[in-house]
Every structure is written in C-alpha cells, then in structure tokens.
Amino acid sequence: MSLPVANINIKYDDEKERITDFLSKFKSTQEKDLAQDLASIDIDDGRDTANPEFVPLKYMKQLQRIANREQQMLAIELEDILAHENTPSELVSRIRNNARRYVSLFSEVVDKLMPQPTKDISDQDEVIDVILHQRRERNEQLEGGQEGFPEHLLRRYNLYFKPLVTDIPTAVREVKGSLLGHLLTPDQVPVGHIPRSMTVHVNGNLTRLMNPGDVVHLGGIFLPVPYTGFQAIRAGLLTDTYLEAHYVHQLKKQYSDLELTPKIERQIAELRQDPALYEKLAQSIAPEIYGHDDVKKALLLLLVGGVTKVTGDGMKIRGDINICLMGDPGVAKSQLLKYISKIAPRGVYTTGKGSSGVGLTAAVMRDPVTDEMVLEGGALVLADNGICCIDEFDKMDESDRTAIHEVMEQQTISINKAGISTTLNARTSILAAANPLYGRYNPKVSPVENINLPAALLSRFDLLFLILDKASRDGDERLAEHVTYVHMHNRHPDLDMDVVEPTIMRHYIALARQKRPTVPREVSTYVVDSYVRLRKLSKDEEQNKSHTYTSARTLLGVLRLAQALARLRCSDVVVHSDVDEALRLMECSKESLQDEEDREGEVDQTPTSKIFRLVKDMAGSGGSGQRSKRQKRLGKGPGGERDMDVDSDEEDGKVLSVLDIRARVISAGFTEAQLMETITAYEDLEIWVRVAGGSKIQFI
C-alpha cells in the first residue's frame, strides 16, 4: 500500500513576485493610518496629504523611513494582504502555515525594494556601520562570495507579521508544549489543573514591551528546538517547543501608555463638565454591588492616588493610598477587591493564607539555565506602580504579615538572603480585606479587640472601614431588590446617574494622575487646625477605649486624600473642600469603629439629629447669655425621633454663621446636603430662623 503524496505546487519565485507587487502597490485608507500610525509616520514628507485623492503607498513609505534610519520595525498586516486585489487569498494561509519561511521571503523582497536614503544619515552611524565599512574595504574583491556578510546582518529592520483580527486567541492549555514563561489567566485553567506555561522568544523591537504581571495576547510562530548530542539519542523524535513572538497586544495598558481617541476625548470633556463627577465616578465602581457609597469613594481615591514626593536629601514621602476593609461576612468585600484588581492597569489579587511572606515580597531561587541564585519577585513586586489586593488579611501569620510593613510606608523590599543583598521597588497601594477576630463583629467587646491588628500596621492604613451587617427592614428590602434584579437581568439596576464605562474611567484617571496638586498656605493652616482637633479628640476618647490611632500618619493620609480629590478635579491646587471631604471620609471610617454600646444612651442616630446636636453645642459654647425661665420642651424631631431636646433655654436668641456651622459639620463626617436638609427641617419646626439673607441662623 503506497502512502498518499501531497500535491504542493508552490514556487517561491512566484511568491516573491506576488510579495513584490503587494509591498510596492498596496494603498491603505487614511483613517486606518491616522488611528494606528499617526505617532510613528512623518506626515510632512513633501507630498500633498491634504489632497483627498492622494493615498500613500503604505509599505513603501515605511521602507523609506527605514532607509532614513527613522524606523526599525516593519509590521506586515495579514489583513492588508487579504485586502490587496492582486494577491490570492491562499497566500495568507500559506504564510500562517509556514510563517518562518515567509519571513525570509518577505525580507529578501524588502532588501530589493529598499530605496536610497533621502536624508543625510552619516551622523547616525553606529558601531556596526563602522565595522561593516572597514570589512568591505578590506575584502572588496570577495564581496558576495564566501567571505561576504550574511544578508540578515546587513538589515537595519525587524520584520513581523500581525495576525488577522478575526483570529481567535488560543489558550496556553491548548498548545502542545510543556514549558512556557507565561502563565494562564485563572479563567483558562483546566478543571483540576495548575496553570501551564510555555517559553516565548521575543526579538528586536518587541523586547521590553511586557513586564511581569501583564496580561497580553501573543501572536507568533510555534517552532521546535531539537535536542543535540546524547540528549538527541535519548529523545528520538521528541523536541522542545517555543513561540517566536511576532505580535504583542497589551490587554491592560499602563496609565502612561493609554492612547486617547477623538471619541474618548469628547466623552472625557463631557465628564469634566459634570458637577457630580465625584459621585458619578464613585457609583461606577462595581455598580452591581448595592450601597457602600463612602467605601466606593475611598476606592476611587485609591485608584487616583496622591502625589509622591522626594526631598532634596533623598527622603521619599509616599503618595499611594492604603485602605483596609474590615467587616462581617457577606458584605461584598472580596467582590470589591476583585473589581479593583481588574479595573486597575496593574492589579494583583492574592489571599492571606495563600500568601507567605516570601510569596508577597521575593523568593531566592536557582536559575535552571545558569545554575545561579536569582530573585523571583512576589505579589508586591508584580504590583509595582499598581494595586495589590490582599483578601483574608486577618488569616495571615504574624511573621508573614510583618513582611509588608516596609512596603506600606517605604515602598521598597530589602532582601538579604543567600548572598544576595538588594532592594526591590514595590510602589504599590495596598487594599486589604479582613474579618473581625470572632468572624463577625462582637459589640460586647471593644473595637480594638474586634480588629485584632497591631497598631504599627493599622497606622499605615490611610482609611480603615468597618462594614457591619446590621438588620434594617428598609435597607434589607432595598438590598434584596437590588440582588434579585441583578440575577434576573444580569446587569445592575438603573441608577440616579449614568454609569461611566471602565475604559473611560481608566482614561480619565490617567489624565488626572498627570496633575501634581500643591497645598497653598491658607489650606495648610486649615489642615493643621484640623489635625490638632483630631489629636485632642483622640486623647479624650482614650478612656473609652475607642479606636482612633491618630498620629502623624493620619495627617499625611488627609493630605494624600485631599490631593487625590484635587486630581479628580484636574486641579493644580488643593482647596478647602478637598480637605473637608478627606476629613469626612476619615471620620466616616472611624465613625463605624465606635463601640455600639457607647451609643445606646443616645436617643436618635439619624444624621439630621446628629447635626442638630452639633449646632446646639456650638450655640451653647459660643457665649453665656442670660437664661430664660422656659423649661425644656420634649417632642419629636423631623425624623420622628423620640424625646428630642428641640428647645433649650441656653440657645435662645443666639446667631450662628452658616459657614462656621458648615465647617464643623463637614469635619464631623456629614455632607453639605445633609446640613441644608437639617436647617430646613428645624426651620419648619420653628426652632430657628434664617437671617442675613440665609447666611446666618438665629434660635427662636
């Protein structure tokens, strides 16, 4: 029985003619050139590009730039070969099936079509040019013979193939190879398997385009590496395999690498004009998760970050914000962490028990090729210039948890192991999630015992939110409606404002991070006064075992949050409202840390009643007016609270400035909208009246 013979009628000379016709005659649309090659193509090349009838020869134009030493990479798009009318469609199939051979064919054709330089390139000579010139002069009579130079040494360009847009990426698990330097993403791992890896070789201009931790699509040629020597005898027909990369596409680009299109620029311009920009961006973070408005605002500031400063003597003050979310099970802490790790350009998600101190920082390993001791970066190193999300933070061993102390403040990792002494950069924001000591928050013990984290670690977090799962009929009903809507429609319910897409948010944050806002003198004085007040409150609450831990790091945290808010406004200066919002977020995070039993004696817990008590305290401490003989009137406040002290003889006739009240109320963690609601509500109850055009209130 005879074996079937493959009928392959391919003449490479004919293929070269087709390639020559394609490279010398292909014309592309101007829209595609503007969208993809505007940054790399010289528009002003002496031709009338404003003429709509003029369509440049795409590849001949690139060859001219290569000849002028202005470009080193020549990317042949398979889409262009399909679009060229004189090229058979089978050529694309043959290129995909025998890509390495066609790289050589295209290179030979490019060498023949290479034009002469139109610019003086003598000042751009490199070492290789000098060596080649001297060798040519010495062996001039042997040029082209055995002593001639190989063609690939004379080429000043790298040729790559860009795959078709319609090609479906193949997961690493489907590649018939064993060792690959790139891991699978978690959604591609086969059931019951560990992530696979394979070796990828990159050359020329494709090098340094990827960093550890990046998520990329790779296109290239799958090639074997035959064994040599005794290994070849033992291996037989088995070989190692690798991928020679020709195309690299970053799925999550760095903020500095994001490219703005006219459509995105228009959307960002509209977004900047929105007066509710801060609330709109915050609600766009995980809109499928109900509530947690203040937590989402804090996470938005985490993505934006503050300004990192380096003093003249080299001391570094970090600008990245660290946040810890602690709360009862089932309050969507892990989902928030997952979302942030996906929306951030560089995000690493890990868990406490699944991470050791070495796994978070760096491990010393032996290189399989050189057999030397090398450093392998951990999660914090992979998240450099990004965000590291650590779930189940409380489950980590104490010895492992102390490994991140240096990272959270100095943002470096010092290694002294196995004869290796070095310092690695870990300029990352830490977003941690943890449960209280007893699984759920126990109101019978103090917050310090519930949190069960050392003060040295807690002080490094700019914000510490305690998210409690409290039973409330209205809140539980709205939560259940939200969750059931998401399950029925596979999307979040309609919100009060339009949700910003993650792509637009990422571009806006990239634009905001270019700003470096400063703190003017008048705002600096306000920050100092606020910090002194916080320290005094911390000292007063020490007797109640309240959890505040106000230190100098708290002051730096306020400044970082205020700078992030100024960045969101694309402003170069921090204003009072930024500091007020930073203090409000910090007060809100500490408000949830107060012991529940300490507040049982209070008659009402609505924001309206709390603001009214603050105003009463201001009126009572503002002066010693004559007391009237009226008795305290007990009744119901605007929120229906019981036994509310709505009229006291001490405040009768007192006049307070609304600006002073606003500063006090916002620094206590309330919003301006809640203040205006309180003023209107108690004005209707005839407790006070607005005077001086609404700029002051007077108790009746």
Is a pLDDT exceeding 70 seen at residue 2?
Answer: no
Q: What share of the chain is helix, strand, coil (3-state, %, to 5)?
A: 45, 15, 40
Amino acid 564: pLDDT: 92
Which is higher by pLDDT, 9 or 8? 9
**pLDDT for 562:** 92
User: Looking at the predicted structure, is the pLDDT value of residue 121 above 60?
Assistant: yes
Task: Return d(Cα 102, Cα 81) in angstroms, integer.
Answer: 13
Q: How far apart are CA 205 and CA 162, in angstroms?
A: 14
| Contact (Cβ atoms closer than 8 angstroms) between residue 612 and residue 650 | no
pLDDT value at position 140? 66
Neighbours of 257 (CB within 10 A): 11
| Nearest-10 Cα torsion for 111, 117, 123, 127 | 10
CA 313 from chain centre, in angstroms, equals: 30
pLDDT of 129-179, one tens digit each? 777 777 777 766 554 544 556 777 777 788 888 888 777 766 655 554 433
- As a whole number of angstroms, the distance between CA 476 and CA 112 comes to 75
How high is the pLDDT of residue 644? 46
DSSP three-state, residue 210: coil
Going by pLDDT thresholds of 50, 70 and 90, the confidence category of residue 602 is very low
- pLDDT value at 630 more than 70: no
What pLDDT is recorded for position 29? 61
| 305-349 pLDDT tens trace | 888 888 888 788 888 899 998 888 888 888 888 888 888 888 888
Q: Evaluate whether 268 touches 511 at the Cβ level (below 8 Å).
A: yes
Secondary structure class of 697 (helix, strand, coil) = strand
3-class DSSP state of 189: coil
Distance between CA atoms of residues 549 and 538, nearest Å: 7
Render 369-416 in DSSP notation, one character per residue: TT--EEEEE-HHHHTTTSEEEEESGGGS-HHHHGGGHHHHHT-EEEEE
Provide the residue count of the chain: 700
Q: Which of 171-180, 524-533, 677-686 bottoms out in mean pLDDT, i.e. has the lowest?
A: 171-180
Encode pLDDT of 50-87 as tens digits: 444 445 788 888 888 888 888 888 888 888 888 886 66
Residue 240 tokens read as 């190692």
Residue pair 667/634 in contact by the 8 Å Cβ criterion = no
For residue 540, give every residue at least 6 positions away whose Cβ sits within 8 Å of its Cβ, in sequence order, or none: none
The answer to whether 308 and 524 have CB atoms below 8 angstroms apart is no
pTM: 0.66
d(CA 676, CA 678): 5
3-state secondary structure (DSSP) of residue 67: helix
Q: Are 216 and 251 in contact (CB under 8 A)?
A: yes
Least confident of 230-244, 349-363, 432-446, 570-584: 349-363
Model confidence at 480: pLDDT above 50: yes
Chain CA centroid to CA 421, Å: 30
Per-residue pLDDT at 567 exceeds 80: yes
Fold designation for 12-162: mini-chromosome maintenance (MCM) complex, chain A, domain 1 (3.30.1640)
For residue 467, give the nearest of 290, 286, 671 by alpha carbon: 290
Taking the C-alpha atoms of residue 669 and residue 117, their distance in angstroms, rounded to an integer, is: 68
Lowest pLDDT segment from 200-204, 666-670, 693-697: 666-670
pLDDT digits (tens, 9 = 90+) for 392-429: 888 877 777 777 888 888 888 888 877 778 888 888 88
- The two beta strands, 387-391 and 347-351, are parallel
Please report the pLDDT score of residue 634 as a whole number: 41
C-alpha 202: how far from chain center? 26
Mean pLDDT of 615-620: 80
- pLDDT mean over 619-637: 45
pLDDT at 35: 43
- Give CA–CA dist 581/278, Å, rounded: 11
Residues 6+ apart with CB under 8 A from 599: 605
Q: Is the pLDDT of residue 546 over 60?
A: no
Q: Is the dihedral of CA 575, 577, 578, 584 positive or negative?
A: positive
Q: Which residues contact 327 (CB under 8 A, 6 or more apart)?
A: 333, 435, 436, 441, 465, 466, 467, 468, 469
d(CA 639, CA 610): 11
CB neighbours of 472 closer than 8 A, spacing ≥ 6?
none
Q: In the chain, what are the domain boundaries?
A: 12-162, 172-251, 287-469+487-512, 521-597, 602-699
The partner residues of 553 in beta bridges, in order of sequence, read none
- Report the alpha-carbon distance of residue 33 to residue 110 in Å, rounded: 21
Contact 295, 345 (CB under 8 A): no
- Distance separating alpha carbons of residues 588 and 463, to the nearest angstrom: 9
Average pLDDT over all residues of the chain: 76
The predicted pLDDT at position 426 comes to: 84
652: nearest Cα among 622, 614, 677: 622
If phi over 0 gives left and psi between -120 and 50 gives alpha, with beta otherwise, what is residue 431?
A: beta
Higher per-residue confidence, 88 vs 141? 88
Residue 60 confidence (pLDDT): 87
- pLDDT for 187: 59
Residue 414's φ and ψ, nearest 5 degrees, are -95, 125
- Alpha carbons 226 and 496: distance in angstroms, whole number: 63
Whole-number pLDDT of residue 385: 83
Query: Looking at domain 287-469+487-512, what is its CATH homologous superfamily?
Result: P-loop containing nucleotide triphosphate hydrolases (3.40.50.300)
pLDDT tens-digit profile of 364-378? 777 776 777 777 777
Most confident range (mean pLDDT) of 215-229, 232-246, 635-649, 675-689 is 675-689
